[in-house]
Amino acid sequence: MGLREEFLRLLKEDEEFRYTVLGYLGIADVLKRLDSIAEEQKELRKEQGRIWGEIEKIWKAIEKIWEEIRSLREEQARIWEEIKKLREEQTKIWEEIRGLRGEQTRIWEEIRLLRLDFGRMDVRLGRVERTLEKLTLDIEDEGRSIVRHRLRGLGVDVELRRLQLPDLEVDIYGASDDLCVVGEASVRAGVGVLDDLYSKLRALEERYPAYLRPRRLLLVYCSLAMPELVERARREGVWIVKATEDITQPPSSLLA
């Protein structure tokens, strides 16, 4: 084998020999630099990969931000729509309030007129009460006079008066020997007058028995007797008297 062939073999197979030759030729530094550049390029590519990864993340983040912005804009649009509706509702409410204020003014005017009417009614009622009071007193006086006259015709002479006790008033009352007369007077008499008469009789029995006698003549003196009163009085033996007639007769057993 010649020298040329041996040299080529060593360059191909012996790396140390190859670098020794390259060093002599001034290429070793260049190769080292190329190796370094290749290494740096590899690192740059790795860094570039990381940068692109970060850029991708940033773009995804930006997309999320834009999505949030779109959602916020949609929400803002809904909010403005709600505000618009609220303003419309507020306008309606103020319209209602103005209507209510007008109605309130009319109501106060009606109240004022009603108060005037009530004032006039009070005056009229006062007159009616005084008239009724006078009629009541008149009917009581009339009743005592008529009943006494009728009793005399039946052979009973008893002084009749108004019995006024601390918690009880009886329109027609009188007592003689073992008979007492207990009666109510009313212009228009219904069954309620009879109930009042019984109630007063019970009060006399419970709280003022000294005013009662073994025989008790119960009566109602009136100008107008209701039919239900007449029917019940007949069943229960109560004497109903008018100025012109006896509507029911007194029990004969009491006046014997």
Decide: pTM greater than 0.75: no
CB atoms within 10 A of CB 136: 14
Tokens describing residue 50: 């990381």
Q: Does residue 180 form part of some domain?
A: yes
Q: Does residue 35 form part of some domain?
A: no
Q: Are strands 161-165 and 168-176 parallel, antiparallel or unpaired?
A: antiparallel
Per residue of the chain (256 residues), give pLDDT as tens: 677 777 667 767 777 777 777 666 666 566 666 667 777 778 778 877 788 888 788 888 888 888 888 887 888 888 888 888 888 888 888 888 788 788 888 888 888 888 877 666 765 654 544 444 444 458 999 999 999 999 999 889 999 999 999 999 999 999 998 999 999 999 999 999 999 999 999 999 999 999 999 999 999 999 999 999 999 999 999 999 999 999 999 998 877 6
Q: Does residue 144 form part of some domain?
A: no
Distance CA 241, CA 62 (A): 110
Q: Does residue 40 form part of some domain?
A: no
Distance CA 201, CA 183 (A): 9
Number of domains in the chain: 1
Tokens describing residue 252: 């004969």
Q: Does residue 190 form part of some domain?
A: yes
Q: Does residue 59 form part of some domain?
A: no
Q: Are 173 and 183 in contact (CB under 8 A)?
A: yes
Helix (H) or strand (E) holding 86: helix 28-153
Q: Does residue 85 form part of some domain?
A: no
Amino acid at 249: Q
Please choose, from the candidates 226, 228, 252, the residue with its C-alpha nearest in 3D space to the C-alpha of residue 239: 252
Distance CA 218, CA 255 (A): 12
Whole-angstrom distance between the N-terminal and C-terminal Cα of the chain? 188
Distance CA 146, CA 243 (A): 6
The residue segments making up the domain with residue 177 are 154-255
Distance CA 237, CA 197 (A): 13
Q: Which CATH number do you get for residue 200? A: 3.40.1350.10
| Residue 42, CB-side half-sphere exposure with 13 Å CA sphere | 6
Q: Does residue 67 form part of some domain?
A: no
Helices 15-25, 28-153: inter-axial angle, 10-degree rounding: 100
| Residue 116, CB-side half-sphere exposure with 13 Å CA sphere | 5
Helix (H) or strand (E) holding 136: helix 28-153
